[in-house]
Amino acid sequence: MRREDEFGFEKIIEVYDQKTGMQGVCAIHNTARGPGKGGIRMVPDVTTEEVMGLARAMTWKNAMADLPFGGAKSGIRADPRKLTPEQKEAHMRAFARKIKEIIPDLYIAGPDMNTTEKEMAQFADEIGTPKACTGKPHSVGGLPHELGSTGFGVAISARTAVEYSGKSLSGMTVAIEGFGNVGTFTMKFLTDWGAKVVAVSDSKGTIYDKGGLKYEDLLRIKAEKGTVTAAQGEKLDAAKLFELPVDILVPGARPDVINMNNVGNIKAKMIAEAANLPAKYDIEQVLMKKGVVVLPDFVANAGGVISSYCETMGWDSETMFKVVEGKIKNNTKTMLERTKDHDTRKAALDIAKERVADAMRNRGWMK
């Protein structure tokens, strides 16, 4: 049996559909705090081991967010670029049918890589209940992530950490990697609260202006030109964003962007991890030993999964933003209070494990 830690795995379900050729996997790591919550990704090279690792990460993310969810994740092995819309829908519906028996009592799905609110509507329709997943379109009772919950949460975490240190966010300089859903809303809220975003990057490069970039201008230019680098300012390589002299760095797109090649050149005093795994733990430790405040991904970017919880409760977007603010502010502060030797990730992980272990003991699953 595959058992990687004392917390799980509870179920690993590999499925195949003869008609569509769909291959998929659902990994449920731990359900002590509630049904496993995690998205469905659709990628051609997904593996069971990858999905297991992501499911475990969701256990800690949901526990640290203090939600009544466990940890789970799913993957469908397919290249969406080579599928027609009809074929993609057929794969999603086939996957839903194959795991229907565990939904929503043991697993609640959500959007992930290459799946959107449209696929979530199809998934819920196939299962026959809106409780099957979150991230659905507003028209079918959902709170789509397009509302900006993740970026809002990143901004809240950063503001909380700044204020915890006795400083003010007003006037602080920020560099943001990525200008998609997460990056745009992170910029919007940080700017609204007085910070000065001086650099933003996308796949075409980085735009840098010491005087500050305007949110509305970047939105318009990105829509018209397809890249933020068309804005007024100094144009740099995308990788240069991480080495700029800013107060707060927000890696918000790809994994491992802070690594052995550039960690020595990081000048930011705080890193708010909007993306998942933008730096490995040993790289984070290098930064933390220098006194850099690292806000780990599963703390800072939990706004999306908190929004998912609000959707399962049937709350509106206004309530959702209040809940995201309250939970991320509280969890960021709790993490910082528990942090020793600047190791914020260890502090957050310890808190998450304690919460899961407490639920397991209350259920009689462990002594």
Catalytic residue numbers? 73
| Separation of alpha carbons 233 and 167, rounded Å | 28
Task: Find all residues with CB under 8 Å of 365, minimum gap 6, and list them.
Answer: 32
Neighbours of 269 (CB within 10 A): 17
Token reading at 328:
């991320």
- Nearest-Å Rg of the Cα atoms of the chain is 20
Nearest 5°: CA angle at 122, between 16 and 144? Answer: 125
DSSP sequence for 258-306? S-TTTGGG---SEEE--SSSSS-HHHHHHHHHTT-EEE-HHHHTTHHHH
Nearest 5°: CA angle at 146, between 310 and 125? Answer: 65
Neighbours of 209 (CB within 10 A): 16
Q: Half-sphere exposure of residue 367, counting CA atoms within 13 Å on the CB side?
A: 0
Task: Find all residues with CB under 8 Å of 1, minimum gap 6, and list them.
Answer: none
Name the strands in the sheet holding 293-295, side by side, starting at the edge strand that comes first in the sequence.
234-236, 205-208, 196-202, 173-177, 248-251, 270-272, 293-295
Task: Find all residues with CB under 8 Å of 319, minimum gap 6, and list them.
Answer: 310
Q: Please choose, from the candidates 162, 118, 123, the residue with its C-alpha nearest in 3D space to the C-alpha of residue 137.
A: 118
Is the separation of the CB atoms in 181 and 151 below 8 Å? yes
Separation in Å, CA 23 to CA 95, 168, 315: 8, 50, 34
